[in-house]
Amino acid sequence: MNMIVPTATPATPNGTTRPQVRIVIVGHVDHGKSTLVGRLLHETGSLPEGKLDMLKAVSARRGMPFEWSFLLDALQTERDQGITIDTTQISFRTRSRDVVLIDAPGHAEFLRNMITGASQADGAVLIIDALEGVRDQTRRHGYLLHLLGVKQVAVVVNKMDRVDFSAERFRQIGDEISAHLTGLGLTPSAVIPVSARDGDGVAERTPRIAWFDGPTVVEALDALEPARPLETLALRLPVQAIYKFDDRRIVAGRIESGSLAAGDEIVIMPAGKIARIRTVESWPVTPMQESQGAGRSVGITLDRELFVERGDVIAHVGSTPRDTRRIRARIFWLHDKPLAEGASILVRLGTRETRATVVAIEKAVDPGELAGVETRAIARNHVGEIDIALAQPIAADPYSDNPRTGRLVIEVNGRIAGGGLILSVATGKRSIPVDIVPVESAMSAGECLARYRHKGAVLWLTGLPGSGKSTLARAIQRRLFDNGGSPILLDGDTLRAGLNGDLGFSAKDRSENIRRLAEVATHLARNGHIAIVAAVSPSAEDRSAARRIAGAAFREIYVATPADVCERRDPKGHYAKARAGALPGFTGIGKDYEPPVASELTIDTSSRSVTSAADELEDMLVKTEILLDLSE
């Protein structure tokens, strides 16, 4: 439940010169958030007349001392438990700001609510108990603010009366939390000593903190900058529904940023279809302003018949979001089951939802410890950066470009399992038609693993012509098959005789050759097979592109046989053809081939048997968790 506490002075209407700033207040349970907020309402004259006296009378009738936190404990269950469960929004005014203060819960089990609150904030107040100091939950909340893109943080060291207003204790806590936040890229705008119960440092500098020459809490709030107005950002109108009235087809949604008007040329993403807005509609029918801005729910009609569906995003031509099937996000994970590579999830972005697969996990961190962990999974209440492959194209913006369309929510089995920020959006040159919907395999990754005893993977064998790539590829294919696996060989020359027969040897055609190989191999890997690619693939950039396509399934094997040995072997005659000018684009060994610098495995076949090389390759697959250890 969101509770808007009425203020003595009505909030300034949107659009005037007084800016509005939304601030979330977070901290460990019992560190005094609700007390501070209650005191702020009193000190700024924001309580309705008689409200304070009424609450004091209620406390007296119950035989309990008055607490400022009672102002926010809107639920009887919260009073009984002595903790704040929901996210409460409070409006009040400072000297130059209209402030919406979002009080978020501190208990770990209520982190979902806290994320909901913080996701709306321009800045934050992080509160710390002077006696207890910086706790794990304090560090976690700091990391959550970083995760959710909050850049402005004021730190309040509360309950200074419990440490006799010790300046030394205040400095210890200030140094510790400042170092922690600075490490996250969040330099505190102020660190303030207060006693919220007694009012010290909230709106006035009292004698008990005479040694402190910084701002009060009210002054610190007054100094926080509001976010860039949403109206100044590019138009983003996620489509919620399409209605038919008479002969009108009305596209309805909420304008998340920017503005629109009749006559505007717009593009519908991710399909990229262009139209003009014929009319802007309202219910009930009322005279409409020429332009409608962010925050307004509107309906529009278009000047032509186009297929539009829920989840599409309407933007102005020239300032569109990116259409993509691949995004990178920083997420906070809430589900009991850890999020692992290969997991199937549902991604919600605005009004769009689509099935997706986690193809890579990096920078998994326990926010309480701030320690990176070498893991391929994100545990409950942990944070990580993930690459997501989407089953359907979506229109998205990085959070840094547009915070309204740069956040996502992840759902697993019908419940919210995590959320976070879009860090980057992968875009391709090819436009995928909106009516093409990829179909997932009927077999799950777990079923394939149980049958084949291996995960899906792309083994990319690269090396000079004659290095032994195809020989090694065939050897590992035979071994995996004999052990019950599902290996599929994709030899570069073989595919050039068929699928890639239309390609030559120019730099552009080589890149396309590798892209096709990578796409086919990745498709096989996602269906549980091990795709074994044997291709010279001389360009490091092309191989990097193949790795991006395959994601976490990619394993690069550099067959590093010396050039003189390769030239003597060269069973396919590439070198002779190159010297004779019969192989366009391939002019020599040293000039064209760019050896890998960070492959998963390097093998020189000049001084060892094929069996020995296959043994080493198999060991690598076990160590990198593609192949189950058959000795177990």
Strand 457-462 to 554-559 pairing: parallel
107 CB burial (10 A radius; 0-12, 13-18, 19+): middle
Question: Bridge-partner residues for 344, per DSSP?
Answer: 357
Structure-token pair, residue 277: 């807005």
What is the distance between the terminal CA atoms of the chain, rounded to a whole angstrom?
A: 53
Q: Per the residue annotation, which of 69, 119, 486, 537 is the catalytic one?
A: 537
**What's the DSSP call for residue 392?**
E
CA 421 to chain centre: 3
CATH class, range 4-223: alpha beta
pLDDT band at 511 (very low <50, low <70, confident <90, very high): confident
**What's the DSSP call for residue 225?**
P
Q: Quick check: is 537 catalytic?
A: yes
Q: Do domains 324-426 and 445-623 have the same CATH topology?
A: no
Q: What are the backbone angles phi and psi of residue 120, rounded to the nearest 5°?
A: -100, 0
Mean pLDDT estimate for the chain? 79
CATH class, range 230-316: mainly beta
Domain 324-426 is of which CATH architecture?
A: Beta Barrel (2.40)
Q: What percent of the chain has pLDDT over 70?
A: 77
Can you give the residue ranges of every domain in the chain?
4-223, 230-316, 324-426, 445-623
Question: Bridge-partner residues for 419, per DSSP?
Answer: 332, 409
Nearest-angstrom CA–CA distance, 203 and 42: 10
The answer to pTM > 0.75 is no
The dotted CATH code for 445-623 is 3.40.50.300
Nearest-angstrom CA–CA distance, 87 and 5: 12
Kindly report, residue by residue over 236-252, the tens digit of the pLDDT: 999 999 888 777 889 99
For 75-127, the DSSP string reads SHHHHHHTS--S-EEEEEE-SS-EEEEEE---SGGGHHHHHHHHTT-SEEEEE
Q: In this structure, how many other beta carbons lie within 10 angstroms of the beta carbon of residue 64?
A: 11
What confidence score (pLDDT) does residue 156 get? 94
What is the four-CA torsion angle of 58, 61, 65, 68, rounded to 10 degrees? 0
Kindly report, residue by residue over 545-597, the tens digit of the pLDDT: 888 888 778 999 999 888 878 777 665 555 555 444 444 444 444 457 888 87
For 388-425, the DSSP string reads EEEEEEEEE--TTT-TTTSEEEEEETTEEEEEEEEEEE
Nearest-angstrom CA–CA distance, 170 and 131: 10
**Residue 359 DSSP SS3:** strand
What confidence score (pLDDT) does residue 206 get? 92
Q: In this structure, how many other beta carbons lie within 10 angstroms of the beta carbon of residue 433?
A: 10
Residue 63 has pLDDT above 80, yes or no: no
**Residue 250 DSSP SS3:** strand
